Structure 1
């Protein structure tokens, strides 16, 4: 199994296999934090705020846990004059998990998130038999950039996720080792057991 951040897309193999897209916006360099540079509390605090915002977006999409409110305003005669709709999202758990860490504690927390993201529920799982994993990756990327609707790439874009925050994970399976039907069965097992957020069932 290999993991490819977007800057390593050229290294994705030209072979068939299984793949998944996962969310990893916690790469420290994407948060402006570099190991060989002095890191002040102000920069770490800003990075944690970005992480909290991105985790909120991921959690909301994964759980659909929000309260939808319909509010109507009536006049004295009982006639509706105005109506409003709003959504209240529950961020309480993030407030409990991400507090006011600073210094080395904040850096360790960000390092943990960067590593632990591979344990998060994936965004999408798939397989490719007649195409290579690299070709399939770039098809999804084109869908993200251009397609109006109906594809994983367009659903990802419409959900507000940034492509550079995505990690592509592959398992190469040569044709000599598996038939297309067997690979589709493996894909089905992968989808059923990992419950990816943006797959169409």
Structure 2
């Protein structure tokens, strides 16, 4: 997989393939820890607060799900079965905020470096494929939707709703020279296994 931040978008391949957007868990730059140590207490305090907000937002993307449907009573004929409309909201019982709030200031810069390097381990928040377009064209479409579109049922609108920003993403892609149907098969397998929360499939 080839990885790109928003600053390297011009290097994305002009080939079809499979791609995903991964959330950047943390980075010194994003959290305001710049330059060489030592860092002031104020800088570390603000960085820690920003880290807590960031990982909570990312956790919410992966754990907040809503489902609706109908439940019917078994053992009865179609006309006699009672049916109930149900709505389920998943929530996470893990208290990730308190874990992050217990971080010692002195270990914060090193911990942020590790979180940055392990960002891909939590999986993509969106996965897709492109057959007739290139990976670069598809990236630019998603980016344009994020900055300009008012469409409600696209990845960019779900991303905005999550509170994550475009430059919070890592774009990973794999150029593929398979047929269109084979690329679609790979995408379906990815969706079934990864269950990317901001994908529609």
Relative to the length of structure 2, the TM-score reads 0.80
**Cα shift at 1:61:** 2.4
Q: Secondary structure at the match of 1:52?
A: helix
List aligned pairs for 1:120-131, cutoff 5 A. 120-131=122-133
Whole-Å separation in 2 of the counterparts to 1:25 and 1:144? 20
**Cα shift at 1:2:** 1.1
Q: Secondary structure at the match of 2:26?
A: coil
Whole-Å separation in 1 of the counterparts to 2:111 and 2:196? 25
Q: Work out whether 1:23 is the aligned partner of 2:26.
A: no
Q: Work out whether 1:153 is the aligned partner of 2:156.
A: yes
List aligned pairs for 1:29-178, cutoff 5 A. 29-34=29-34, 36=36, 38-64=38-64, 92-103=95-106, 105-148=107-150, 149-173=152-176, 175=177, 178=178
> Structure 1 segments of 4 or more deviating over 6 A?
none
Q: Secondary structure at the match of 2:128?
A: strand
Q: CA RMSD in A?
A: 2.1
Does the 8 Å CA contact 1:25/1:166 hold for their aligned counterparts?
no
Q: Which runs of 5+ in 1 are unaligned?
A: 67-87
Whole-Å separation in 2 of the counterparts to 1:142 and 1:170? 18
Does the 8 Å CA contact 2:123/2:196 hold for their aligned counterparts?
yes
Q: Secondary structure at the match of 2:19?
A: strand
Does the 8 Å CA contact 2:16/2:133 hold for their aligned counterparts?
yes
* Number of aligned positions between the proteins: 176
Measured against aligned partners, the alpha-carbon deviations of 1:39-85 in whole angstroms (never above 9, x if no partner) come to: 2333122112111101111212211289xxxxxxxxxxxxxxxxxxx
Relative to the length of structure 1, the TM-score reads 0.80
Q: Which runs of 5+ in 2 are unaligned?
A: 67-90
Q: Against the structure 1 CA distance between its residues 91 and 54, is the aligned structure 2 distance closer, same or farther, given a 3 Å change threshold?
A: farther
Does the 8 Å CA contact 1:121/1:197 hold for their aligned counterparts?
no
Whole-Å separation in 1 of the counterparts to 2:35 and 2:2? 24
**Cα shift at 1:150:** 1.0
